[in-house]
Structure 1
């Protein structure tokens, strides 16, 4: 196969540097914080008022639990911050077109910010 051109890009990096591991650690912690926020929102959000609940006249909580909502708010901001830090490291570390653009972190940051604004609107803060 002497006369054929090589079409794949040759990888010249010898080993992964500390920025690669830092970016991965930030991305993993962002997703874990988001999962903790999902669990926290289950306990902080108002309870659903289903038909069977109305039939048996069971009292349901119609308001957000303030202490848990504060923790949820902090978790979402921490998740958004670590996600942003991972994107920022990737922005300055990735130099090739073949490097992964990290779409999952952009999605996670968007969901975190939308969820933060939703919580603020439900608590009538703005």
Structure 2
């Protein structure tokens, strides 16, 4: 599993309330259920610690803070905005018409919404 996919999945689970404030996470447990390595999971969790969404209690124990859901939601929105901006730049540089750009963006938005379910 790519780290971007793993990060997106963990953020989405927090954003929709599947993992909530006060829950304890384990990189090893997440790795087992996500077909990823604990090292990769820890990379994602480290980003959440730096953002204030997780507290590291050592011994592979992480606790979600009260800020976890808002941080996850705002991070996902920022990710989507960057993805849309990158897509528009690529399409403009490729010389696409406004209608082509619009069609591509609609498809991208549908795919982003599908990732959030």
TM-score (norm 1): 0.35
Structure holding more strand per residue: 2
Say which structure, 1 or 2, has more relative contact order (CA 8 Å, 6+ apart): 1
Structure holding more helix per residue: 2
Structure exhibiting the larger radius of gyration computed from Cα positions:
1
TM-score (norm 2): 0.37
